[in-house]
Amino acid sequence: MGLEINSLLRTYGVNSVEHKRQTTPVNFRHNASEDRFESNLPERFANEAVITKLVNSNPKINAILKEVSIEPVLNFEDLKPLLNNHCNDVRNISSGIIQNLPFSLRNFVDEKALLDASYLHDIGKVLIPSEILNKQGKLNEAETKIMHKHSELSYEILKNTNLDKKTLNLIRNHHQNAKKSGYPFVTQDFMADLNLQILSMADKYSALTEKRPYKEAFTPQQALTIIYADVKDGKLHPFVFKALTNYVNKTSNINLQLT
């Protein structure tokens, strides 16, 4: 990882990231609908009535589901623990990565957009059937195609809300990478900026270290080793990986060094 920082910034498009500090005044009014602090939290979308309304108001969602031959059935039973566990974990890991970035890179992070996207990135799984989400074994080709729709569904559910464009694009593309080999499809001018790479890495680390119906939890060392292969392949930023490693070392009392 001996590349100069300016070279890495050019290579991974970090210079193109617009950094904008967002401050929201706290308003302690009794009417929650008028409380700007409360209304700015991503948890406002983790509500059955809100999600149902958003899904029913966007015909594009039905079109996406028809592509993979599944019915528009809302799976709130699996969504709630997903938000409380995995999505909260991804938000915490993203925050930890930010805090461990070099200061010169930290200035390019849109923390509000990134942390909101970290919490909301998998909300589209409310439309993925439980038998696929909880399958105890490898997904077949058709099931994989359905599962890969969740990031696009997350975007479609939330795109007509007051979330900003940067947050929405992070949600849609959280399974993409610098080599454009992820999903959903992106054009050649797509750039996996610093914010997206943090989200993608946090999501993968969380998923690897969680126990899932189809696998046991990997240790932090195992998870970092797997992610390091993506770094060497040019999919993820080495400075982001270093920040993740530092965060994991501090929170897990390990001292893993990969070279």
Q: Residue 56 sits in a domain of what CATH number?
A: 1.10.3210.10
- Residue 222 forms part of a structural domain: yes
Confidence of residue 254 (pLDDT cuts 50, 70, 90): low
Whether 259 is in a domain gets the answer no
Mean pLDDT score, 227-256: 91
Model confidence at 250, in pLDDT bands (50, 70, 90)? very high
**Residue 154: how many other CB atoms lie within 10 Å:** 23
Omega before 81 cis (within 30°)?
A: no
Q: Which residues contact 78 (CB under 8 A, 6 or more apart)?
A: 125, 126, 130, 133, 134
Catalytic residues: 125
**Per-residue pLDDT averaged across 37-52, rounded?**
88
Q: Does residue 205 fall inside a structural domain?
A: yes
User: Which band of pLDDT confidence, cut at 50, 70 and 90, is reported for residue 197?
Assistant: very high
| Among candidate residues 195, 176, 236, 26, the one with its CA nearest the CA of residue 111 | 195
Percent of the chain with pLDDT over 70: 83
Q: Average pLDDT of the chain?
A: 87
Is 53 inside any structural domain? yes
Instruction: Give the H/E segment covering residue 9.
Output: helix 5-12
Position 70 confidence tier, pLDDT thresholds 50, 70, 90: very high
The answer to whether residue 23 sits within a structural domain is: no
Residue type, 123: I
Considering the domain boundaries, does residue 12 fall inside one?
Answer: yes
Quick check: is 258 in a domain?
no
C-alpha span between 96 and 259 (Å, rounded)? 21
Q: Quick one: pLDDT band at residue 257, thresholds 50, 70, 90?
A: low
Q: Average the pLDDT over 78-83 and give the result.
A: 96
Res. 223: pLDDT tops 90: yes
Rounded to the nearest 5°, which phi and psi values hold at 138? -70, 140
Residue 257 inside a domain? The answer is no
Name the domain count of the chain: 1
- Pair of tokens at residue 101: 């970035």
pLDDT at 252: 81
Where in the sequence is the domain holding 58, given as residue range(s)? Answer: 5-18+28-252
Contacts of 61 (CB under 8 A, 6+ apart): 55, 72, 127, 153, 156, 157
Please tell me whether residue 59 adopts helix, strand or coil conformation: helix
Rounded Cα distance between 190 and 187, Å, is: 6
Distances (CA, A) of 169 to 20, 24, 156: 16, 22, 11
